[in-house]
Amino acid sequence: MAQLPTNSLNIIGAGHVGRALGRVFTARGIFAVQDVLTRSQASAQAAVGFIGAGHAVDAPGWLRAADVWMLAVSDDRLQEVAAALAQAQDLSGAVVFHCSGAKSAVELAPLRAAGAVLASVHPVRSFADPAAVAAAFDGTWCGVEGDPAALALLVPAFEAAGARIVAIDPAAKTVYHAASVFASNYLVTVLDAALRAYQAAGIPEQVARELAQPLAAETLANVMRLGAEQALSGPIARGDEATVARQQTAVDAWDDGSGALYAALAQATRALAKRKHGQGG
């Protein structure tokens, strides 16, 4: 791959995502991190330390001009931050992108009037451990959409960081992000219910984790290898509704919230089982 020019990068919002990407860009010489702005000077300084480059600032007006701007703030702050940045900066010729999986690049529309071209780049990873993500970023899928001029710079940059790129329809962005929530956040919720149910049956927490780990790992591997229909097993898949009913009663008696979750998942699993058997599985 040809050597990329090292463009300057300002980062607004340096939580887990901003820190991880900042470290990747710095370690691989993709962008030169310049200024970092977060909600406090202390957190900006901590982010600079984690990234290994940059200068902490505490107001949009202190940010210097940059080639590229990354907005790694929460979804509900994107429009507010974009409006403040448009008021504070001349962004003529700059590329501005955000990292949200749920919102499209149109959230940054105020910055277009300030001269910027806009995009969204969403790394499909769990960022609970930013250091681990930064250390193993190769192969990370990133959903991208936005202005062609912005993507012309960002796509090669992320590919140089080891990312794999998939184009996202901005109109389907919310459903796209919901898919990631199902695959990550809600998976944690379901496993939490499993671990608590084991403990309700008198099994110590650490042993509960050891019981659940092979089941969860093998099931995930089967889904990715065979597809969801063929990976489905258990009482609903084999039509044992009497067992399902007994379990529903027991879980309801133990915990109302877990009972409601069990009922919702049972209904969805029945639909999956119909697909499985419809395919001759």
Domain ranges of the chain: 7-172, 184-278
CATH pick for 7-172 out of 1.20.1600.10, 2.60.40.150, 3.40.50.720, 2.40.50.140? 3.40.50.720
pLDDT of 3 strictly over 80: no
Rounded Cα distance, 197 and 271, in Å: 24
- Please compute the mean of the pLDDT values over residues 201-230 and round it to a whole number: 97
Kindly report the pTM of this predicted structure.
0.82
Q: Looking at residue 119, what is its pLDDT?
A: 98
Q: Looking at residue 27, what is its pLDDT?
A: 97
Sign of the C-alpha dihedral computed for residues 151, 83, 9 and 130 taken in this order: negative
pLDDT band at 61 (very low <50, low <70, confident <90, very high): confident
Rounded Cα distance, 165 and 120, in Å: 12
Closest listed residue to residue 154, CA positions, set 25, 48, 37, 63: 25
CATH architecture of 184-278: Orthogonal Bundle (1.10)
